[in-house]
């Protein structure tokens, strides 16, 4: 199974940590949404899309990429994110992917270190996240695609 992980991680590299765990487990290539590889999605059996959450949404670069993609058929995808709060923010991205014809077969989220806005004044929240436990869960999540 050929897997591509498309990610962006602009705040503290939190989502990059998770993307790497998932990519390692699936022997997947990791790319940013601006890289040429995203034009060759047809070569992949499963594609992951993930980023941090900014103003309740995945990074604009991920959302715009999905928006611009041609419609696909019988293509599997999963989504992931890290965020300051434990709210589930994956729904809009999942819906965008589904609208393009993707079959969304999984989602992962965990908390990430957050120093945005007022949180900066208190040294940030979720220090050390994603932590070892988060990474173990991300690995487990990725492993489920190998079964
Ligand atoms: C501009 C900005 C807006 C954010 N908005 C939210 C938000 O709406 N909800 C939330 O839970 N976290 C929010 N966060 C926290 C990030 O989602 C969190 O720190 C995430 O782990 C960052 O991932 P990254 O290091 O991969 O960029 C925001 C962070 C920034 C910098």
Domains of the chain, by residue range, sit at 3-146
CA of 84 to the centre of ligand 1 (A): 6
Instruction: Supply the pLDDT for residue 98.
Output: 98
In ligand 1, the atom with minimum distance to the C-alpha of 126 is 19
Residues at CB less than 6 angstroms from ligand 1: 9-16, 52-56, 82-85, 87, 112-114, 116
Which of the residues in the chain have pLDDT under 70? none
- Beta bridge partner(s), residue 53: 58
Instruction: Supply the pLDDT for residue 119.
Output: 95
Instruction: Supply the pLDDT for residue 141.
Output: 98
At 14-38, the pLDDT tens digits run 999 999 999 999 999 999 999 888 8
Say whether pTM exceeds 0.85. Answer: yes
CA of 52 to the centre of ligand 1 (A): 5
C-alpha Rg value of the chain to the nearest Å: 15
CATH number for the domain running over 3-146: 3.40.50.360
Phi/psi of residue 128, nearest 5 degrees:
85, -5
Q: Say whether the peptide bond before residue 130 is cis (omega within 30 degrees of 0).
A: yes
CA of 11 to the centre of ligand 1 (A): 7
Closest CA to 13 of 128, 142, 139: 128
- For a substitution probing ligand 1, which of 22, 82, 83, 90 has the most ligand atoms within 8 Å of its CB? 83
In ligand 1, the atom with minimum distance to the C-alpha of 86 is 11
């Amino acid at each position: 199974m050929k897997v591509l992980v498309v990610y962006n991680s602009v705040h503290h590299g939190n989502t990059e940590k998770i993307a790497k765990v998932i990519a390692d487990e699936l022997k997947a290539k990791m790319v940013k949404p601006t890289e040429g590889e995203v034009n060759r999605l047809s070569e992949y059996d499963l594609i992951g899309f993930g980023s941090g959450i900014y103003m309740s949404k995945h990074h604009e670069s991920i959302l715009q990429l999905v928006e611009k993609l041609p419609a696909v058929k019988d293509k599997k995808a999963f989504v992931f994110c890290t965020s300051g709060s434990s709210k589930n923010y994956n729904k809009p991205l999942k819906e965008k992917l589904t609208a393009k014809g993707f079959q969304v077969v999984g989602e992962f989220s965990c908390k990430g270190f957050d120093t945005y806005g007022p949180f900066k004044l208190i040294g940030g929240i979720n220090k050390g996240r994603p932590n070892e436990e988060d990474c173990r869960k991300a690995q487990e999540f990725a492993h489920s695609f190998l079964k």
